[in-house]
Amino acid sequence: ILLNCAGKEDEDYIKPQLHVKNPHLDSMEEDILYHFSLGTKTHNLPEMFGDVKFVCVGGSGNRMRAFAKFMHQELGLPGNTDEITDICEGTDRYSMYKVGPVLSISHGMGVPSISIMLHEMIKLLHHAGCHDVNLFRLGTSGGVGISPGTVVITDKAVDCFFRPQFEQVILGKVIIRSTELDADLAEELSQYASEMPELPTVIGKTMCTSDFYEGQGRLDGALCSFSTEEKVEYLRKAYNAGVRNIEMESTVFAAMCHMCNLKAAVVCVTLLNRFDGDQISTPHEVLTEYQQRPQNLVAHFIKKRLGLI
């Protein structure tokens, strides 16, 4: 008897299969995951990663190492957390840590950076024969009309026109992909969040932009071609369209996971309310505590799934 996605016993349950959508992959003798410094000939990927069930990604390498150490404690795994080493130490592009069934990977800032990481991470899961994997992006973001420190669970990732789609230029043509996320996963996360009073959470749309400054309507970049009123009008429009936070990776994360049949969720804490300003002036200790919040929620989720709580 297998456990289904909800962790229940189910005889008829069919494991969700990861679909890499590339017919060329099978005919390749070797696949070098260049930015991870891993490969199918140099590493035994099924042995190293075959048991992965949860992949958590976030911008910074240090934050993802901290998350791995935190998960090590939360899962009550044996050994010292100082022994958790970067699997991608052969490259300084991304960092990767594995603790039990949890893989914690950094993706850098912005769509191109996370997209490269996702191609290689999804192929890694494929080569390792993983199935039934849940993916989470644990991030930071700017809040739209909500208090700093609020965690936003994304129901739809939208582009800067508030459309639930991701545009990729392929061979000179614009290809549009859906940014649908797993509704059950978001609902389950929201349910757990409601049991955690120290974790203010909302479900809302997340807008993904390709710039932190002008692209997010900031007045404090090196360039700014619009007025304060125009900024506020844009944020107001975003709010009315259901946008509750702004970050820089969610659309491609959602689109690639959706295409590959991976259940995915985006959980980002807001560092400021963009109606109140643009600069992130919150003290470091407060920001550190905020950044722990998505981690706490996802750790709770993982422990529930593993039957530890």
Instruction: Please report, as ranges, the residues that interact with ligand URA according to CB under 6 A.
Output: 140-142, 212, 216, 246-248, 271
246 binds, among ligand URA, ligand R2B, none (CB under 5 to 8 A by kind): ligand URA
Q: Which is nearer to ligand R2B, 101 or 139 (CB)?
A: 139
Which residues lie near ligand R2B (CB under 6 A)? 59, 109, 139-141, 212, 247-249
184-194 core/surface letters (b: 16 or more CB in 10 A; e: else): ebbebbbebbe
231-245 core/surface letters (b: 16 or more CB in 10 A; e: else): beeebeebbeebbbb
Least gap, CB of 64 to ligand R2B (angstroms): 13
User: Between the CA of residue 214 and those of 34, 88, 211, 243, what are the distances in Å?
Assistant: 32, 33, 7, 18
* Collapsed DSSP state (helix, strand, coil) of residue 10: strand
149 binds, among ligand R2B, ligand URA, none (CB under 5 to 8 A by kind): none
204 binds, among ligand R2B, ligand URA, none (CB under 5 to 8 A by kind): none
Q: Which is nearer to ligand URA, 40 or 106 (CB)?
A: 106
Least gap, CB of 224 to ligand URA (angstroms): 15
Least gap, CB of 176 to ligand R2B (angstroms): 21
* Pairwise CA distance, residues 243 & 14, whole Å: 35
Q: Which is nearer to ligand R2B, 50 or 164 (CB)?
A: 164
N- to C-terminal Cα distance for the chain?
A: 21
215: left (phi over 0), alpha (psi -120 to 50) or beta: alpha
Least gap, CB of 103 to ligand R2B (angstroms): 19
59 binds, among ligand URA, ligand R2B, none (CB under 5 to 8 A by kind): ligand R2B
37 binds, among ligand URA, ligand R2B, none (CB under 5 to 8 A by kind): none
* Pairwise CA distance, residues 157 & 164, whole Å: 6
Both tokens of residue 19?
A: 């679909």
Q: Which is nearer to ligand URA, 101 or 139 (CB)?
A: 139
